[in-house]
Amino acid sequence: MSPPLAASSLSAKPAGHPSVRHGRVGVLLLNLGTPDATDYWSMRRYLKQFLSDRRVIEVPRLLWWPLLNLIILTTRPGRKGKDYEKIWNKERDEGPLKTITRSQAEKLSASLNDGRVVVDWAMRYANPSAEERIKALQAEGCDRILLVPLYPQYAAATTATACDDVFRALMKMRWQPAVRIAPAYYEDPAYIAAIAGSIRDGLAKLDFKPDVLIATFHGMPQKYLEQGDPYYCQCMKTSRLVRASLGWPAETWLTTFQSRFGNDPWLQPYTIEEVERLAKQGVKTMAMVAPGFSADCLETLEELDMENRSVFMENGGEKFAYIPCLNESDAGVAVIEAVVRRELMGWV
């Protein structure tokens, strides 16, 4: 990148009007979100926003509204609040996804080291919102913004809804910044190398060699795939490329899908069912990695490292390891930086 260039102000303006900063470029990291607290009402607000998203739940509103408001939002907040309590960052009083995403943004800014580029972060659900942070970037003089959804694999329920949220914010602005969206990076060599490297490092720390290694991705309803969502195909390619990079035998490598919700068929095989099946069939040692998550969160720390571990051990397994996400590690930030530098070409 070129040497830093300070943001300038528009000089042609009516007398008495403040100058407008411009000439800088914003980079906005986007992730899913986390509740503001673990109490019932905080969880309810978060879940209502999340489960009211038509990109996430593609059920007719007449059917979904009573189910969501009369049943799910009555019973689920308490249960999920207890799950979040298990992984909550007590020191900062926030979910780990918020802690990690903030750190990713701070480290990315330091790595870019360009005075023209302002790095920020936002959540699709809860806080900080995309609208809030876009306004903040514009106030910093950013008239161009690169959106970076931190989802290696594209899905309408993740990448698309994050972008929808940004576009709704732009609709309210008189002076809209120019916007680019970083594409999914599921096969990016830097990403594949980083995931493979994290697995090697994770395995090297264990006192056992796993009989099976599971690459687990967040699930989605099967019908979303049938309607044209590319997510499943991108997950499978990521898994294949990582396995090939590691030279791992195909017969002891599984690709599965987790976090099923509701009664409709979801992408299969289901992670927790495979964990139970393998344990009952005599598999004694297992390692698990979640390449689809850029940061550890409820679905990895509680569901995988706690719930799946428990199922494995209760059904005959002896040793289980969850290998953390890339998070704000040097390798993880380097992946984001590689994507950002490529997508900023022509702007800086």
User: Could you confirm whether domain 189-323 is CATH 1.10.1060.10?
Assistant: no
Partners of residue 321 on adjacent β-strands = 287
The answer to whether 79 touches 100, Cβ cutoff 8 Å, is no
Closest to 336 (Cα-Cα) out of 345, 347, 346, 327: 327
Give the Cα separation of 90 and 93 in Å (integer): 5
Per-residue pLDDT tens, the chain, 348 aa: give them.
444 444 444 544 555 555 667 899 999 999 999 999 999 999 999 999 999 999 999 999 999 999 999 999 999 999 999 999 999 999 999 999 999 999 999 999 999 999 999 999 999 999 999 999 999 999 999 999 999 999 999 999 999 999 999 999 999 999 999 999 999 999 999 999 999 999 999 999 999 999 999 999 999 999 999 999 999 999 999 999 999 999 999 999 999 999 998 889 999 999 999 999 999 999 999 999 999 999 999 999 999 999 999 999 999 999 999 999 999 999 999 999 999 999 999 999
Q: Alpha-carbon distance 124 to 159, whole Å?
A: 10
Number of helices (H), then strands (E), in the chain:
12, 10
Q: Amino acid letter at 61? A: R
So where are the chain's domains?
189-323
Q: Which amino acid is at 140?
A: E
Pure H helices in the chain: 40-51, 61-66, 73-87, 96-112, 130-139, 161-170, 189-204, 222-226, 231-246, 271-280, 309-314, 330-343
Return d(Cα 236, Cα 315) in angstroms, integer: 28
